[in-house]
A and B are shown apart, each in its own frame.
Chain A
Amino acid sequence: MATTLSCGTDSPARTTDTITVFAAATLSTAFGDLATAFTASNPRFSITFNTAGSFTLANQIAQGAPADVFAAADPAAMDLVAASQVSVFATGRAAIIVQAGNPLGIATVADLTDPDVVVVACAPTAACGRLLGDVTQRAGVVVTPRSLEDTVRGVVTKVTLGEADAGIVFATDVIAAGPRASGVELPDDVNVVVRYPISVLSTAPNSPGAQAFIDFVLSPNGQAILASHGFEAP
């Protein structure tokens, strides 16, 4: 009978303490695991996520979105928001994602120049948008993608659905896709090192919670979870 409709009300007797995490789309699987482990050992916290392209998120934060933590896949996105104490919590590299089993036998970046290979990449709104340009420039080739997806998820989806043959993504995206896709590693001379920054936002409604979550991400436990998803140590 007395079901309380507490939608929007700021009840002082909150049993859980919500932390709002804005995380780049490429981080969503790993951060899901980090949140599960964090809330298991800190039951008074609960975590809500907003995942999108890094620059999309930075724009939302700049427009006043109530975020506590921002985890990006590009330090340039972090530069767009007001944050204190930016830490790099992981590094990574780029890879080519191909259909499961690599049916076209794609081995190098140069193989992507074949006009019969349907390549998709990220739009500049996502951190992965720079990967194709960086990698092809280092390899000295020109690749024309058929589509510029708004997040890395769009690239992964189009490859796993079989509509695209290949895409340039973060190496961790290949791991996250599991058996639905295969990856082609890129040698160091054409690859880039990606640094993933995280911070408590200056406008964070819950900065103690935000700091607690970030401490966990940087802790050995957090780093072990990230490593299991293919992220490298900062």
Chain B
Amino acid sequence: MTTRRRARAQRLPWPALLLAAVAVAFFALPLVGLLWRAPWSSAWDYLTSDTATTALRLSLVCSLWATGLSVLFGLPLAWVLARTELPGRGVIRALATLSMVLPPVVGGVALFFALGRRGLVGQYLDQWFGIRLPFTTAGVVIAQTFVAMPFLVITVEAALRQLDTRHEDAARTLGASAWTTFRRVTLPAIRPALVAGAVLSWARALGEFGATITFAGNFPGTTQTMPLAVYLSLETNPEEAIVLALVLIAVSFAVLVGLRDRWLGQVRPQGSVTA
């Protein structure tokens, strides 16, 4: 097994290997830089400080909410985009992925104009229900969902498009309802893509900075997530910032590595058509 793998690696032209090595170094070096500068002797004190624990808890809660909302709304949206002949689908798809290319700060300002106290919809939320989203934890979740959901939508839509619809057709001709077909045939087939999309969304939500600080502001305990805490402590206490950054990296890394082996290992999809 190992010899076969090595034999395959040797067939790669050396410029490709060299470029790949540069790419790995490019990703690894900044991380090594953080580890190199980390104040190891006082790391534990920073880790257990109020700033760190409060921000980490808030980050985890908000990013999981954002992932949940992304799946709840993004999965149906991906399905509509992949399976219906809705007019203007291209426009809807562009809209749904716009926040990926939008500078996050612009996204935050746009959220103000939509959901802020003076916003298109926000003014009625305030007047009728007394709901104000800016400067609240709910505002953080909204900002994160706004930038994270596209990752789920495009990943799941691509999987749905690649899926061989004959399996679904067969299930239906055998008498399964649309819901049963979706649950028993479609969903298992796209599960790797759904998990991958959810993980990407979660990672994006966890690292979200610009839209959050613009739309939700920055206050410890309510809206100060880890990236905000890192950014602000970078000026006043760089050592604390490095420790907080490493925590954020460790959490993300653990989840990405763990999920990759457990879920994404089985990507050879059951129902896919080879292109």
Interface residues of A (CB under 8 A from B): 53, 55-56, 59, 118, 120, 123-125, 145-150, 154, 158, 161-164
Contacts and interface: CB of A to CB of B under 8 A. Distances in A.
Given A55-B236, A125-B235, 18 more contacts: A56-B235, A59-B234, A145-B219, A146-B135, A146-B219, A147-B216, A147-B223, A148-B218, A148-B232, A149-B217, A150-B218, A150-B231, A158-B217, A162-B117, A163-B117, A163-B118, A163-B134, A163-B135
Contacts of B216: 147
A53 B236 CA distance: 11
Interface residues of B, number: 22
Given A59-B238, A124-B236, A150-B232, A161 B116 contact: yes
Contacts of A163: 112, 116-118, 134-135
Contacts of A145: 219
If over half of A's interface residues share one DSSP class (helix, strand or loop), that class is named, otherwise mixed; here it is loop
A123 B116 contact: no
If over half of B's interface residues share one DSSP class (helix, strand or loop), that class is named, otherwise mixed; here it is loop
B213 interface: yes
Contact of B235 (A53, A147, A161): A53
12 contacts: A118-B132, A123-B232, A125-B235, A146-B135, A147-B135, A147-B216, A147-B218, A147-B223, A150-B232, A158-B217, A161-B112, A163-B116
B118 A123 contact: no
Contacts of A149: 217-218
A199 B224 CA distance: 34
Contacts, number: 58
Contact of A148 (B219, B234, B235, B238): B219
B232 A147 contact: no
Nearest to B113: A161
A147 B219 contact: yes
Contacts of B224: 148
A222 to B, nearest CB: 29
Contacts of A158: 134, 217
Contacts of B236: 55, 124-125
Contacts of A123: 218, 232
Contacts of B223: 147
Interface in B13-52: none
Contacts of A59: 234-235, 238
B88 to A, nearest CB: 31
B36 to A, nearest CB: 15
Contacts of B135: 118, 120, 146-147, 163-164
Contacts of B234: 59
A59 B234 CA distance: 8
| Residue with the greatest number of chain A CB neighbours at <10 A, chosen from B117, B216, B222 | B117
Nearest to B234: A59
B119 to A, nearest CB: 9
Contacts of B116: 161-163
Interface string B196-238: 0000000000000000010011110011100000011011101
A112 to B, nearest CB: 15
B145 to A, nearest CB: 19
Contacts of B222: 146
A195 B124 CA distance: 44
Contacts of B231: 150
Contacts of B134: 158, 163
Nearest to A58: B235
Given A146-B135, A163-B118, A55 B218 contact: no
Contacts of A162: 116-118
A124 B220 CA distance: 13
Nearest to A146: B135
| Residue with the greatest number of chain B CB neighbours at <10 A, chosen from A125, A146, A163 | A163
Contacts of B217: 120, 146-149, 158
A204 B116 CA distance: 44
A117 to B, nearest CB: 12
A224 B232 CA distance: 35
A55 B112 contact: no
A174 to B, nearest CB: 20
